[in-house]
A and B are shown apart, each in its own frame.
Chain A
């Protein structure tokens, strides 16, 4: 059983205890513990069930690479699944749960999957659940998802807080081990702005654990002193518990800082600031993330108790925990011997040391034997025994697997060599070199990832560069700092290299799998990827079935996928493919390392952009009035606009109908502030607008308005609106609400790229003005009551489609006599900050006339009754002015305008194009659904019924007392009076008559009133 020992424990405070809960059971740890070390201290070996086969699993590692001990931490909406227990710091009353088991961790029904493992090989799902097709989505996938998987996502929103921050630095150092600290200090001494980030809560990496010395003192002291100097420097920012998660193009780096800081007061009272996601722009990045110990592959190598030897040392020295009490040590290098020495020193028995190398380790080996430890050479573990944890192992020959002995033990500590953490080097394209002697991939300094300047962006240092000895790591860190400084044009600093003493890396065996000639049944229990339950047999099967490419084999078997990202599984998977294909490892290549290096929470990715800050909501100056008046809302682009203003007992549609009748019979007022308003000014403004619109604007007299339509180069309608000529050289272009930004950008693009020599300035004034439409037979009376100075608003003084400056109720502004309702209408534009004042005055003086605020739905109905189009309803990016019956607007005199050539294409002039018409249901009462298609006899090339039109707008017209619709119909205007059938999604048919699109006041008498 694992337990706390008196030995070691440099990171914990033994004087204090800290309670926590695992699977409902109360336990105690110490401040400084990780959840994993605290669980081990409490004798907990079984911490989870595996992904696919539900096999029992225990703590395997001591850091970010942990593949087994994935737990859910927190309760209810605060639950975070799939956290690695090895990097979860223990906090008071932390509540953690094991995952992927039911009903309990000890007795898991899903474990039948393990009994059937032989029938669940790689690709099983692809092969088995092919038929019947419909069943995949409805039956198989939900079942598989329930049986296999990781922790469940919480069902309620996370009550805690997350945020992001953006910083720019000269040098980002990822990793706070000795190489990283050396690099940081070197770069800082050269004068660079440096940010150092360490994923763990403690600094120094492995050096303090391995008992290495710098400047004749324990490495730990050098780490402390260096860190203190860095912290004191105003050039340097240091952050622990900060994971550098991804390196992207041009030096964009994403890192996640974990804070777990309780907040008090204000709007976030009671929440916890969990994490801060950093967007870092770094000119140079030093990857000093260390290395991950490589597991060995042997039958039953996934049982609780099988661990990395480095993790055994970490737990002993850092947290004072003996994860194993009588382990067998399995090694390919000298590190197994050091592990054994350490265990003995801590008073822990070693069942045996098994060295895959036939020649052993000379003096180290003799010393160990002298202390009474059994050493077996040229051998490995060929089986592990015990269901929920190792109780014994069988030792056999490396080559043949021939059994030598069987040993009682409680685990296996594996020293399989090291794999540099090349992830950050590789994310943005750095290439790797295979080191045959050390059996590892290291960054190839001649093929680094490059930044925006074409120069190397990432510099690897220390173990992450393959330099496993402390002297080389310090030198590599210094070299990285110097290289970064030089690349930044800084002077080379005077930076002495401290003396150091550590253990030599020694030589290793090339073996990684025992037995070399494994039987088929053994391969079913030889795990390559513990997190994804991928075995040697699966990778061999993938190769046999033709998935030879490393990327194909990865996808077929799921090896190294998802959150593992080839941490403990990477190199063994490649070695397995190499074995199966009979090709050397470098010929296999590597899979793509993808960010994030370790999982990042959705909370951190969202940052502040959640709840009310999820998306900016644009509000007009009059928005508060609408809200107080009980408006129901409609989102139009990023704006919210009143849909209608329901009174007590009214539905939103009933309210809209009432508002329509008010406009037709009396007078209504609409907040039209969201319409785009672009000022176009200059000697060439008229000429410019002639190019932008299909009709001519340069001939428009000052003070007059003209409706214009804009096309893209293809000849399709992109926007429309009324253009007002304010002065000889200046025009105000109204656009659609959603089109304002786009049209302004469109104008600038043409001016800046094509007509850069034209004298035209544009300015988007949308937000500068509030605009209110006053529409209805009594509109002029309301304006008179309101008080208009400096303008004659009589029918003769301000006729339809005229505009003038005026003082409106004491507010300077403009009056445009334009109408989107078909009624007598004035649009009043005043500075936005006086919009509410004008609106309130209108409501007040208009009351005796029955003035009614109306929303977008009434506006839509009013315009539909008049057959006015809306860009986005009647158009969808494939509709021309001819299709809309606006062909007459196209100026014949103009030599060119945007879209002219596009419109000339014969396809767009065909007589059988779908064109705008009005539609009336023949029964006089059925509402045509928007989007319904009309069908004709015959079928098209796909065997479908031939569509000949669709409904683009459909409303019940309160004015006419019956449903009306607009639509685009094949040869529509030539077929007035014909009846065609529209299909509903329910399969019903609605017969409708093709009519003129103008349903109301065809002569436009009311408009000109």
Chain B
């Protein structure tokens, strides 16, 4: 993607500005294991510094850039700075060696977009393609929603006011980029959530 950053809101009738950018350099590790097993919890604490998240939650670790997200009853997605990836996977492999598990580097499989702007405005941009409830009640801070955006699979979360992240498969990143920019086009505000 040649263009990864663009500021909208430069027209005649300025709408709320939105920053849409594709984020690089994030390591992603899929962990499949028995999430109720104390060994998993211990391995996760050691490798990521978080507990096992509750259903649909995404937890921020004290370690910079480390996030643990619940994907399914036996699957987590771990985010960390790319340079920390080997450390995390080695730590997990070692801790879970005696337990049935799967750890895999999935960093290159997905693209991550970061959206920054007015919180309600970001929610409605995403709601143009996401069938799930994206109102502040429907998608509270710290929850990751696995859903779809238009016709492609997507995971969406927000950890702080005015910032949302979206992950999708790498092969459709260009499609998602164009989709987001079209949905965020100035003048198409729905003014749903202020």
Which of A168, A759, A832 is the one whose CB lies under 8 Å from B108? A832
Contact B178 A266 (CB under 8 A): no
Q: How far is the CB of B185 from chain A (nearest CB, A)?
A: 5
Chain A nearest CB from B72 CB (Å) reads 10
Stretch touching chain B among A273-281, A713-721, A871-879? A273-281
User: Which residue of A607, A761, A768 contacts B106 across the interface (Cβ within 8 Å)?
Assistant: A768
A667-700 at interface with B (beta carbon < 8 Å)? 679, 681-683
Contact B172 A616 (CB under 8 A): yes
Which residues 758-787 in A have Cβ within 8 Å of B in the complex?
759, 761, 763, 765-769
Which residues does chain B contribute within 8 Å of A266, judged by CB atoms?
Answer: 8, 11, 181, 185-186
Nearest Cβ in chain A — how far from B117, in angstroms?
Answer: 15
Whether B10 lies near A163 (C-beta < 8 A) is no
Q: What B residues does A608 contact at CB under 8 A?
A: 128-129, 150, 179, 182-183
> Is B46 in contact with chain A by the CB < 8 A criterion?
no
A264 partner, pick from B12, B33, B101, B105, beta carbons under 8 A: B12
Hey, which chain B residues are within 8 Å of A237, CB to CB?
192
Shortest Cβ distance from B9 into A: residue: A265
Q: Is B64 an interface residue (CB 8 A)?
A: no
Instruction: Count A-B contacts at CB 8 Å.
Output: 145
Question: Which A residue's beta carbon lies closest to that of B190?
Answer: A165
- Is B127 a contact of A165 with CB atoms below 8 Å? yes
Task: Please tell me if the beta carbons of A267 and B182 are within 8 angstroms of each other in the complex.
Answer: yes
B194 contacts partner chain A, Cβ-Cβ < 8 Å? yes
Residues of B within 8 A of A618 (CB): 169, 171-172
* Cβ 8 A contact of A267, one of B32, B134, B181: B181
**Is B194 a contact partner of A268 (Cβ separation < 8 A)?**
no
Q: Are A164 and B185 in contact (CB under 8 A)?
A: no
Q: How far is the CA of A919 from the CA of B104 in the complex (A)?
A: 46
Q: Interface centre among A273, A639, A683, A763, by most B CB within 10 Å?
A: A763
**Complex partner residue of B150 from A276, A613, A763, CB under 8 angstroms:** A613
A261 to B190, CA, bound (A): 12
Q: Are A265 and B171 within 8 A (Cβ)? A: no
Q: Is B90 an interface residue (CB 8 A)?
A: no
Give A54 to B34 CA distance when docked, in angstroms: 72
Q: When chains A and B are docked, how far (Å) is the Cα of A262 from the Cα of B104? A: 49
B102 touches A617 (CB 8 A): no
B144 contacts across to A, CB distance below 8 A: none
Contact A165 B124 (CB under 8 A): yes
On chain A, the residues within 8 Å of B181 by CB distance are 266-267
Chain A residues near B106 (CB, 8 Å)? 763, 765, 768
Inter-chain contact B128/A163, CB cutoff 8 Å: yes
CB-based nearest B residue for A619: B171
Contact B10 A265 (CB under 8 A): yes
Using A266-B186, A273-B187, A761-B101 as known contacts, say yes or no to A609 and B150 having CB atoms under 8 A apart: yes
A residues in contact with B150, CB < 8 Å: 608-609, 613, 616
Residues in A with CB closer than 8 Å to B130 are 166
Say if the beta carbon of B62 comes within 8 Å of chain A: no
Cβ of A616 and Cβ of B105 under 8 Å apart?
no
A542 within 8 A of B: no
B133 at interface, CB cutoff 8 A:
yes
Choice from A268, A279, A639, A682 contacting B102 with Cβ under 8 Å:
A682
Q: Among A165, A279, A833, which residue has its beta carbon within 8 angstroms of that of B192? A: A165
Query: In this assembly, does B175 line the interface, its C-beta being within 8 Å of a C-beta of chain A?
Result: yes
* Contact, CB under 8 Å: A767 / B108: yes
- Flag if B178 contacts A613 (CB, 8 Å): yes
A237–B192 CA distance with the chains assembled, in angstroms? 7
Residue of B nearest to A674 (CB): B171
Task: Report B-chain residues with C-beta under 8 Å of the C-beta of A621.
Answer: 108, 170
Are the C-beta atoms of B101 and A613 separated by less than 8 Å?
Answer: no
Which residue of A is nearest B129, CB measured?
A: A608
- Inter-chain contacts of B178 with A (CB < 8 A): 612-613
Q: B185 touching A234 by the CB < 8 A rule?
A: no
Least CB distance from B50 to A in Å reads 21
> Which residues A150-190 have CB closer than 8 A to chain B?
161, 163-168
Q: A273-B188, A831-B105 are in contact. Are A268 and B182 (CB under 8 A)?
A: yes
A580 contacts the other chain (CB 8 A): no
B152's partner among A262, A263, A616, A730 (CB-CB below 8 A) is: A616
Q: Which of B37-56 contact A (CB under 8 A)?
A: none
Task: Report A606-652 residues with CB < 8 Å from chain B CB.
Answer: 607-609, 612-613, 615-621, 639
Q: Are B128 and A164 in contact (CB under 8 A)?
A: yes
Residues of B130-174 whose CB lies within 8 A of A: 130-135, 137-138, 150-152, 169-172, 174
- Shortest beta-carbon distance from A740 to chain B in Å: 11
Complexed CA–CA distance, A165 and B102 (Å): 38
Closest to B82 in A: A833
Q: Which residues of B contact A617 (CB under 8 A)?
A: 172, 174-175
Question: A residues within 8 A CB of B182?
Answer: 267-268, 608, 613
B5 at the interface (CB under 8 A from A): no
Query: Do residues A268 and B151 form an inter-chain contact, with CB atoms below 8 A?
Result: no
Given the complex, which residues of A lie within 8 Å of B8, measured CB to CB?
A: 266
| Closest B residue, CB atoms, query A831 | B108
**Is B109 interfacial (CB 8 A cutoff)?**
yes
Chain A residues positioned under 8 Å from B137 (CB to CB): 193
Q: Which residues of B contact A681 (CB under 8 A)?
A: 102
* Among A163, A269, A619, contact of B174 (Cβ-Cβ < 8 Å): A619
Give the shortest distance, in Å, between B14 (CB) and chain A (any CB): 9
Cα–Cα distance between A167 and B120 once the two chains are bound (Å)? 13
- A264 x B186 contact (CB < 8 A): yes
Contact with A along B101-119 (1 / 0, CB 8 A): 1101111111000000000
- The minimal Cβ–Cβ distance linking B188 to chain A, given in whole angstroms, is 5
Residues in A whose Cβ lies below 8 Å from that of B151: 609, 615-616
A224–B20 CA distance with the chains assembled, in angstroms? 40
The 9 closest A-B pairs by CB, nearest first: A265-B11, A618-B171, A832-B108, A168-B133, A761-B102, A767-B109, A768-B109, A761-B32, A831-B108
15 sample A-B contacts, Cβ–Cβ < 8 Å, listed by A number: A164-B129, A166-B127, A166-B129, A167-B127, A168-B138, A264-B13, A268-B182, A273-B187, A613-B178, A616-B151, A617-B172, A618-B169, A761-B33, A769-B108, A832-B108
Apart from A267-B182, A832-B170, A833-B108, list 10 A-B contacts with CB within 8 A.
Answer: A168-B135, A193-B135, A264-B11, A267-B185, A276-B190, A608-B128, A616-B172, A616-B175, A682-B102, A831-B105
